[in-house]
Amino acid sequence: MRRGSRDAPGHVVSSVVAAPSTGPADQQSSDDVAEQPAPTPWWRSAVFYEIYVRSFADGNGDGVGDLRGIRQRLPYLRDLGVDALWLTPFYPSPMADHGYDVADPREVDPLFGSLEEFDLLLAEAAELGLRVTVDIVPNHTSDRHAWFVEALAASPGSPARDRYLFRDGQGDGSEPPNNWVSTFGGSAWQRVPDGQYYLHLFAPEQPDLNWRHPEVVADAERTLSFWLDRGVDGFRIDVAHGLFKDEQLRDNPGPPSTGTFGVGAGEAHSWNQPEVHGIYRQWRRLLDSYPGDRMAVGEIWVADPEDVARYLRPDELHLGFNFHLAMAPWDGPAMRAALVASTAATSRVGAPATWVLSNHDIVRHVTRYGGGEVGLRRARAALMMLLALPGPVYLYAGEELGLPQVELPDDALQDPIWERSGHTDRGRDGCRVPLPWDGSQPPFGFSADAGGQPWLPMPADWAGYTVAAQTADPASMLEFYRRALALRRELPELSGSLEWTLEPAQEDELLSFRRGSVQCLVNLGTGDLPRPAGQVLLASFPGQHDGLPPDSAVWLRNRGESAL
Ligand code: GLC
């Protein structure tokens, strides 16, 4: 049995999830969740859209996406029907990890634009009703950050080194201080010419900060205030389960959790330390001191959903990505287990689960779900599932076009993972290929200047994926996303509580849940399934069909008396 950690399967598991407190269908509140204050903050149910800035739109023709390109495409995003944007780091950076190595967190890299350009973007987005959130990278800096340059120039034991994690090696000094490994491969320790080592849980160009140093704590708050003062609506916190490390930097007890995801007991000393919660309490107070429901979502790659929920207690982060669902295969019991475990955990702390299927670090879900026509069908069904669940949804730029993961040639790969793994792991470039906007050949309108070479090569056969090719084609993925997003806004039922509506025996192939009078059914099996009575509000499959074909979903309006 693949029933894993699901809890209380039954005919109707009511009020598994606390829903936002407004809306006509909000009659049932969960026993173990306090009433939410009204009005419901926007972020509890918003649709966010992740823009990997390098890859979205290139406004100056140099082959790299930038803030001007985003500004030019804001009307597209409004018409798509999303509520808010998440911009990946656009701060000055040597780009060893494409911007996640930040040299100055309170500036804009000239490659992406300028602060003035950012202010224009914010203002223009606001005019279109789009909120803007930005990425904060608190766990580490670039090795070109002024603090690290100073630390390298200083001697062992000096105060400048204390902002990072410098240590002597073990034995005669030639062994690293402990057994920690880098997420990108190899040891997490880099030796410097005077013999000391510094910690980098990612690339050597990303030294980890010492969060027990008051200047590190104060500087991060300065960064948050800097962007809040400019008017951002919130933040995505990069590796939010990082920051603090075991004070004695003890050896980790076991191997890292390869093959699964998220840190677990094997890496008990390098990640997910209790002290980090104190930082998020301070940040929550800072965010709450600003008007307008500013928010923060954490990237929390922690294996246990209960542990993830600890970051989402009412005085900590507002949201945390649910990677359990993103990592689940296309399989009924696995998906339901991910949904139930995560929603149960977050609802116990009064937070919504935050749904995401793709981002700039993971294989695009069209490909994960089987690729080709099958992958596209499943991706449509998965979108309907996400949009019908309570809680915010994060879309990743390009998923609305049905973009697959791209198999890039070796010489095009740029992700540091490729080199650090000794060319055994191709890294994440395949989900970061620039977006195709129009035209019949690369760069498909990505670069304003037709001569611009996109920073990653775009497949020559992407003409059918462009925004222009898909617009007004009712059968396209893009028009399907637009319809689904518009309908989600129009259906007041989708602010009601969630009920699972299945007998356990049916769960292997069918997911079914209800939000008030709207029922969402997803067929994860291989054969047609009968469909309960009801008005079809949206179907992921084309044409008329009396049942529910494999790899499809439907939203029905019914009163539930004829549940399957
Ligand atoms: C996060 C980012 C990833 C980056 C890493 C190091 O996981 O999403 O892209 O490489 O942090 O900053």
pLDDT for 451: 67
Q: Which residues contact 397 (CB under 8 A, 6 or more apart)?
A: 49, 50, 51, 52, 55, 56, 435
Query: In one letter, which amino acid is 130?
Result: L
Is 32 a residue whose pLDDT tops 60? no
Q: Is any ligand 1 atom within 6 A of the Cβ of residue 361?
A: yes
Mean pLDDT of the chain: 91
> Would you state the pLDDT for residue 519?
95
Q: pLDDT band for position 35 (50/70/90)?
A: low
pLDDT class for 17, splitting at 50, 70, 90? very low
Measure 174 CA to ligand 1 centroid, in angstroms.
Answer: 29
Assigned token pair, 216: 């590190």
User: What is the C-alpha to C-alpha distance for residues 405 and 367, in angstroms, rounded to an integer?
Assistant: 6
Lowest mean pLDDT among 28-32, 43-47, 289-293: 28-32
The set of residues, in sequence order, having a beta carbon less than 8 Å from that of 191 and lying 6+ positions away, is 169, 176, 197
Annotated catalytic residue within 50, 238, 400, 415 = 238
Closest Cα to atom 7 of ligand 1: 239
pLDDT value, residue 350: 95
Residue of 299, 361, 415, 551 marked catalytic: 299
**SS3 assignment, position 553:** strand
224 in Cβ contact with 283 (< 8 Å) = yes
pLDDT at 284: 98
Is 205 close to ligand 1, i.e. is its CB under 6 Å away?
no
- Which pLDDT value is given to residue 505? 63
Tens digits of residue pLDDT in 393-413:
999 999 999 999 999 999 999
State if residue 135 touches ligand 1 by the CB under 6 angstroms criterion.
no
∠ CA 202-270-165 to the nearest 5 degrees?
70
Residue 306 a catalytic site member: no
Please indicate whether residue 202, judged by its CB atom, sits closer than 6 Å to ligand 1: yes
pLDDT of residue 450: 60
Q: How far apart, in whole angstroms, are the C-alpha atoms of residue 63 and residue 443?
A: 9
Kindly indicate the confidence band of residue 185, based on its pLDDT and cuts at 50, 70 and 90.
confident
Give residue 458's pLDDT: 97
pLDDT (mean) for 464-469: 98
Reported confidence tier of residue 31, pLDDT bands at 50, 70, 90: very low
Q: Is ligand 1 within 6 A of the CB of residue 58?
A: no
pLDDT, position 27: 33
Least confident window among 201-215, 219-233, 532-546: 532-546
Taking only the tens place, the pLDDT of each residue in 479-515 is 999 999 999 999 988 888 899 887 666 668 999 999 9
Of the pLDDT bands very low, low, confident and very high (cuts 50, 70, 90), residue 543 is confident
* pLDDT of res. 504: 61
pLDDT of residue 154: 98
In the reported structure, the alpha carbon of residue 324 is separated from the centroid of ligand 1 by a whole-number distance in angstroms of 18
Examine the pLDDT at 1 and tell me if it is beyond 70: no
State the pLDDT confidence band at 376, using cuts at 50, 70 and 90: very high
**What one-character-per-residue DSSP string does 267-315 give?**
GTTTS--TTHHHHHHHHHHHHHTSSS--EEEE---BS-HHHHHHTTSTT
Can you give the pLDDT at residue 164? 98
Q: Is 299 considered catalytic here?
A: yes
State what percent of residues in the chain have pLDDT above 70. 90
- pLDDT above 90 coverage of the chain, percent: 83
Q: Residue 264's pLDDT band (boundaries 50, 70, 90)? A: confident
Count of alpha carbons within 13 Å of 520, Cβ hemisphere only? 26
Nearest to 305 by CA among 342, 340, 337: 342
The segment with the largest mean pLDDT, out of 18-27, 101-110, 332-341, 416-425, is 101-110
DSSP-assigned letter for residue 143: T
Q: Does the pLDDT of residue 369 top 70, yes or no?
A: yes
CA of 16 from ligand 1 middle (Å) equals 32
Pocket probe mutation, ligand 1, options 361, 415, 418, 425, max atoms within 8 Å of Cβ: 361
**Whole-angstrom Cα distance, residue 114 to residue 162?**
32
Residue 6 scores a pLDDT above 50: no
Q: What's the count of helices (H) and strands (E) in the chain, helices before strands?
A: 15, 17
3-state secondary structure at position 505: helix
Angstrom distance (rounded) from CA 438 to CA 57: 12
Are 110 and 90 within 8 A, CB to CB? no
Q: Using a 6 Å cutoff on CB, does residue 356 contact ligand 1?
A: no
